Amino acid sequence: MEGAELRISLTEQRLVLLQDGRESGQFPVSTSRYGPGERIGSGCTPRGRHVVRARIGAGLAPQAVLRGRRPTGEIWSDELAAAAPGRDWILGRILWLSGLEPGRNRLGQVDTMRRYIYIHGTPDTEPMGVPFSHGCIRMRCADVVRLFDLVATGTPVDIVP
């Protein structure tokens, strides 16, 4: 966990895990369908330097449903998805991001944490490697579970074009 850093490329739709300055993993992601942007209410993925402020979901099943950062007791399935069409599923784990750059992604109308921007799991039925989220960084459940176990609160996260 110590010495870990994350780099998320919006153009490549890829998250790279660095440990002690060396690449130790790559994962496909899906960022905002609305592109990059920092304003509250934009639905965009914020850019710049961030930090993992909170880790939520340790010990949950990879497909466990979270709402309001709390487990609902549900496990995602095709039947559950059919009963709630259009729901933005947050599954398995949450890495809640906080911006570090006042005026860019921290405080006021551009505060990443107040926008509830996470790295989180999403159903395997959702597209990956293309922008499709509502601002968060979506990952496959198995990938976010693996990543969650490798990063600590305070891990730096760079979101770059």
Domain boundaries, the chain: 4-160
Q: How many CB atoms are closer than 10 A to CB 153?
A: 12
Superfamily of domain 4-160: L,D-transpeptidase catalytic domain-like (2.40.440.10)
Calpha distance 4→95 (Å, rounded):
14
pLDDT at 146: 97
Query: 3-state DSSP: the chain helix, strand, coil percent, rounded to 5?
Result: 10, 45, 45
**What type of residue is 3?**
G
pLDDT score for 3 = 87
Query: Mean of the pLDDT values across residues 15-34?
Result: 97
Average pLDDT, the chain: 97
pLDDT in tens, 97-124: 999 999 999 999 999 999 999 999 999 9
* Residues 30-48, mean pLDDT to the nearest whole number: 98
pTM (predicted TM-score): 0.96
pLDDT at position 52, please? 98
Q: So what's the pLDDT on residue 86?
A: 86
pLDDT at 2 over 90: no
